[in-house]
Amino acid sequence: MSGKGMNLTLKIWRQKDANDKGKMVDYKVTDISEHMSFLEMMDVLNEQLVNSGEEPVAFDHDCREGICGMCSMYINGEAHGPDRGITTCQLHMRMFNDGDTITIEPFRAAAFPVIKDLVVDRSSFDRIQQAGGYISVNTSGNTQDANAIPISKHAADEAMDAATCIGCGACVATCKNSSAMLFVGAKVSQYALLPQGQVEAADRVKNMVAQMDLEGFGNCTNTGACEVECPKGISLENIARMNREYLAATLKG
Amino acid sequence: MALDSKVPKGPIKDKWTEYKNKIDLVNPANKRHIDVIVVGTGLAGGSAAATLAELGYNVKAFAYQDSPRRAHSIAAQGGINAAKNYQGDGDSTYRLFYDTVKGGDYRSREANVYRLAEVSANIIDQCVAQGVPFARDYGGLLDNRSFGGVLVSRTFYAKGQTGQQLLLGAYSAMNRQIARGKIEMFNRHEMLDVVIVDGKARGIIARNLVTGEIERHSAHAVVIGSGGYGNVYFLSTNAMGSNATAAWKIHKKGAYFANPCYTQIHPTCIPRSGDYQSKLTLMSESLRNDGRIWVPKNMEDVLAIREGRKKPTDLSEEERDYYLERRYPAFGNLVPRDVASRAAKERCDAGYGVNQTGEAVYLDFASAIERYGKEQAKIQNIANPSAEKIYELGQKIVEAKYGNLFQMYEKIVDQDPYKTPMMIYPAVHYTMGGIWVDYNLMTTIPGCYCIGEANFSDHGANRLGASALMQGLADGYFVLPYTIGDYLADDIRTGKIPTDTKEFDEAEKEVTDRINFFVNNKGTKSVDYFHKKLGKVMWDKAGMSRNAQGLTEAMAEIKAIREEFWKEVSVPGGANEMNPELEKAGRVADFLELGELFAKDALTRSESCGGHFREESAELDGPQKGEAKRNDEEFAFVSAWEYKGEPADAVLHKEQLEFKDIELKQRSYK
């Protein structure tokens, strides 16, 4: 299959390390096929840079099938670029036209400092999960049978919808307040919807919210941009559920 | 060194229980003085790290990704097998054991496979307790589906994201231990060598991928759970960063590498579209529950479709060749992966491929949509439903089952698979071969363990669908935590392993010398140039079908690429900074050695078995004509290779396989 062979101008954020100030730099790529993924277009650019002895653009990526959550990038002012329900690695060049100028920046948030070029540090997400994003059960091999507690299909499906979050951080990058409420709400909801999660529910939501605040994420003002940009379609309802859980937990003391 | 598999004596169904009863234990107070390094945080490494920390060991875990949650286990789609027999369809531990040994074409170790089947049910219990949201039926109980090579429904699943949910379960268990300080997590770190002290694995050298700093880490035991080496082909369904470096480094320091030629080429992947392609995307095997695979019967239709004059939906049932149903009536579309892949290749080689490249077959959901639609119409009491209504109802069911996979397909190919059949073609997916381990999962280096896809142990020459997740979690949650205690019981008085010793000095020097070479070489060609070149040789000559001449050529060609690599590779940037090209250079250097050993292994094994198909060894007539022909008299052994410098000089050690509980016979899925 032959592509259209697009010629593009790329404006890319280059920053040597965390201490560097960083700046936008222009690059040109030619003969880009519409069937390429966005990251394959970046590969073409990087191959070009390596061959001319320049340092390639650093960006996070791994599975390239939209599930690991490693890829980020703010493309033309949108987290994961101009398409819905996908990550950057699933974005295809058919979304662009010959002659386009594409602006590529890292995800920006106080809690996501830039490490290099388009690579950011999202370890704040890990620390929120460490504060309570688990059920305290040891691996014993002797826990009760998996079918001992029936769980309604509806609750299981809803828990799955929340659990489908890939932890990419698009919600934070998109939010004008850099809020992580969609991310935290999704994890809180997954457990809140399942009987296994009930035992520690109050402590979990309090500890995760406290850590979220400590990391410097902003508050939710119900704009809903996060839900629009979320590659996995995580619903705002999860934020509402977290707020209810939080309220109940604090009232219980 | 003679290989000792250390399989316990006694009847197969009692081996593991009896063994556990007699194994040495480390008391809780002593565990606090013992350190364990775990490299890799996928299902195997993540579950091992969490469980070892729960037991009280001090764990240091390493991942090259920015978080343990991103390991490539996350991309596993279809499900996880377990012999729960919730469906009452005749499943049992023995049947899962039997299916796995048969599916692996009788090239796995019976005792390991039986243990895997035995602990499989515990995995499901454990994951449910952790809050993994498996699919359920309307009664609130767990749902199952079928995978290839079996006649029961034993696969548990969470939509098409089972690997993600299981990994997040292991990740949550790790998080609990990280918060307690029992796991020290090293994200964005890559292991670049193992350190051997007095013959035992006592630490690793790792590179901090953010700062470039080279670090020394010591421990009483080292566990490698770093996944498979499918990226030796450049194009595979593996993640871009998936690599063999940790496994290859321990191989070079004394761990034997077993059956490198056993590779799984998965039948249902999205076909490649151009030279710029960076990876291939899997479409889950679960789709074969409902999808029917076909190509046109007549060459005129093939050409008409390729030229755009006809659409696949224009062809009547009579004009289609459902070749799996035709050749394998008993298993139909659910034959094992190796069989399905070869059958697709056979049709495409014969000229029936349905896309421009001639390398694609159809995976069609039209009959499933109709079947589900009719069923729903009945359930909803809709009398005389129209074809459109049936389609609409059926589409909803298919969407609920496979929605995310259909969406993924549409985003990549830009076609709607609800309306037109998917196009698929086989792609490299999983490597059954790996580091040789004994029953304890210990390598031939004392104190160095290997778990999950990185080892060779359970899948023989072909892995059944939904068994990788099972093995990763079995190794990490339920096997290693017991067996490692038996070794560590001797280390309770050893004390902390110092890192200021000559062994660490030497290992670190080797690592820094190599890094300095790369950044100073200033060659003329990128790392990817060499990786792609290697991948092409591997695919053409050591891919879905192999012969002696091609494999001999492959060995020479890979050696030549390797020599050119060390002269001409160009790595921009420095050593003391984040440098993705430098990371890739080290990994490709290792693939360039592994690839040659792979070809040598494939050449040595002149039989066909599982995913390893030697053209010289096929059935020439009879009902099995054209099928792979195993040679049990000469090849019922594990090939374990000892490193001796050049890959071509590796020395073969054989572990003879004994089949006491399953009769060795030809695999038939007809």
pLDDT number for residue A253:
61
Query: Does the beta-carbon distance from A50 to B133 stay under 8 Å?
Result: no
- Catalytic option among B337, B342, B546, B562: B337
Same fold, A6-115 and A122-252: no
DSSP letter for each residue of B396-441: HHHHHHHHHHHHHHHHHH-S-TTTS-EEEEEEEEEES-EE---TTS
Domain B502-636, CATH class in plain words: mainly alpha
- In chain A, the N- to C-terminal Cα span, in Å, equals 63
Which of B540, B465, B537 has the alpha carbon at shortest distance from B264?
Answer: B465
Which whole number is the average pLDDT over B480-500? Answer: 97
Q: What is the pLDDT along chain A (253 residues), one digit of tens a residue?
A: 444 599 999 999 999 999 999 999 999 999 999 999 999 999 999 999 999 989 999 999 999 999 999 999 999 999 999 999 999 999 999 999 999 999 999 999 999 999 999 999 999 999 999 999 999 999 987 889 999 999 999 999 999 999 999 999 999 999 999 999 999 999 999 999 999 999 999 999 999 999 999 999 999 999 999 999 999 999 999 999 999 999 999 997 6
The letter for the amino acid at A116 is K
Residue ranges covered by each domain of chain B = 22-77+159-264+430-491, 267-428, 502-636
Residue B306 sits at φ, ψ, to 5 deg, of -60, -35
> Cα(B62)–Cα(B223) distance, rounded to whole angstroms?
10
> Cα(A190)–Cα(A133) distance, rounded to whole angstroms?
10
Task: Report ipTM for this prediction.
Answer: 0.97
Distances (CA, A) of B465 to A38, B95, B126, B148, B258: 31, 15, 21, 6, 21
Positive or negative, the Cα torsion across B48, B50, B52, B54?
negative
Which of B147, B173, B128, B14 has the alpha carbon at shortest distance from B81?
Answer: B147
Give the residues across from B195 on adjacent strands: B203
- In chain B, the N- to C-terminal Cα span, in Å, equals 42
pLDDT number for residue B149:
85
> Cα(B405)–Cα(B425) distance, rounded to whole angstroms?
16
Beta strands at B35-39 and A78-79: parallel, antiparallel or unpaired? unpaired
Which of B223, B179, B248, B465 has the alpha carbon at shortest distance from B336?
Answer: B465
B337 an active-site residue?
yes
> Cα(B351)–Cα(B321) distance, rounded to whole angstroms?
13
Query: Does the beta-carbon distance from A121 to B281 stay under 8 Å?
Result: no
CA dihedral B577, B581, B584, B586 (to 10 degrees): -60
Which of B103, B81, B102 has the alpha carbon at shortest distance from B93?
Answer: B81
User: What number of other Cβ atoms are within 10 A of residue A150's Cβ?
Assistant: 14
Q: What is the mean pLDDT of chain B?
A: 96
Burial of B379 (0-12, 13-18, 19+ CB in 10 A): exposed
Contact partners, residue B515, CB within 8 Å, separation at least 6? B207, B214, B575, B582, B586
Which of A1, A67, A197 is the closest to B74 by Cβ? A67
Interface test with B, best of A42, A65, A127 (most B CBs within 10 A): A65
Positive or negative, the Cα torsion across A194, A212, A200, B472?
positive
**Confidence band, pLDDT 50/70/90 cuts, at residue B668:** confident
Which of B50, B173, B572 is the closest to A53 by Cβ? B572
Using the Cβ of A115 and the Cβ atoms of chain B, whether some distance falls under 8 Å is answered with yes
Which whole number is the average pLDDT over B49-71? Answer: 98
Which of A44, A85, A163 is the closest to B168 by Cβ? A163
CATH of domain B267-428: 3.90.700.10
SS3 B364: strand
Contact partners, residue B138, CB within 8 Å, separation at least 6? A153
pLDDT number for residue A1:
41
Cβ–Cβ under 8 Å, residues B376 and B306: no
- Residues of chain A with Cβ-Cβ distance to B176 below 8 Å are 130, 134, 136
CATH of domain A122-252: 1.10.1060.10
The CATH architecture of the domain made up of A6-115 is: Roll (3.10)
The letter for the amino acid at B399 is E
Residue B609 sits at φ, ψ, to 5 deg, of -155, 135
**Confidence band, pLDDT 50/70/90 cuts, at residue B614:** very high
pLDDT number for residue A3:
46
Chains A, B: CB pairs < 8 Å: 219
SS3 B163: helix
Establish how many alpha carbons lie within 13 A of residue B315's alpha carbon, considering only the half-sphere containing its beta carbon: 28
pLDDT tens per residue, range B552-601: 999 999 999 999 999 999 999 999 999 999 999 999 999 999 999 999 99
Distances (CA, A) of B378 to A118, B323, B347, B619: 54, 32, 38, 47
CA dihedral B599, B601, B603, B605 (to 10 degrees): -150
Q: Is the pLDDT of residue B451 over 90?
A: yes
- Residues of chain B with Cβ-Cβ distance to A54 below 8 Å are 572
Residue ranges covered by each domain of chain A = 6-115, 122-252
Q: Which residue of B has its CA nearest to A118?
A: B578
User: What number of other Cβ atoms are within 10 A of residue B8's Cβ?
Assistant: 17
SS3 B191: strand
> Cα(A227)–Cα(A179) distance, rounded to whole angstroms?
12
Query: Does the beta-carbon distance from B210 to A159 stay under 8 Å?
Result: no
Burial of B515 (0-12, 13-18, 19+ CB in 10 A): buried
Which of B239, B414, B572 is the closest to A54 by Cβ? B572
Beta strands at B35-39 and B221-224: parallel, antiparallel or unpaired? parallel
Place of tokens 């069989």: B339
Query: Does the beta-carbon distance from B478 to A139 stay under 8 Å?
Result: yes
- Residues of chain B with Cβ-Cβ distance to A134 below 8 Å are 130-131, 172-173, 175-176
Contact partners, residue B217, CB within 8 Å, separation at least 6? B37, B60, B186, B203, B204, B205, B206, B499
pLDDT number for residue B402:
87
Its pTM stands at 0.97
Positive or negative, the Cα torsion across B609, B612, B616, B622?
positive
CATH of domain B22-77+159-264+430-491: 3.50.50.60
Q: Is the pLDDT of residue B1 over 70?
A: no
DSSP letter for each residue of chain A: -----EEEEEEEEE-SSTTS--EEEEEEEEEE-TTSBHHHHHHHHHHHHHHTTPPPPP----SSSS-S-----EETTEET-SSSS--GGG-BGGGS-TT-EEEEE----TTS-EEETTEE--HHHHHHHHTT-S------S-SPPTTSS---HHHHHHHHHHHT-----HHHHH-TT-B-HHHHHHHHHHHHTSGGGSTTHHHHHHHHHHHHHHTT-B---S--HHHHH-TT---THHHHHHHHHHHHHHHH-
> Cα(B437)–Cα(B445) distance, rounded to whole angstroms?
10
Give the residues across from B448 on adjacent strands: B222
Q: Which two tokens stand for residue B341?
A: 């892949």
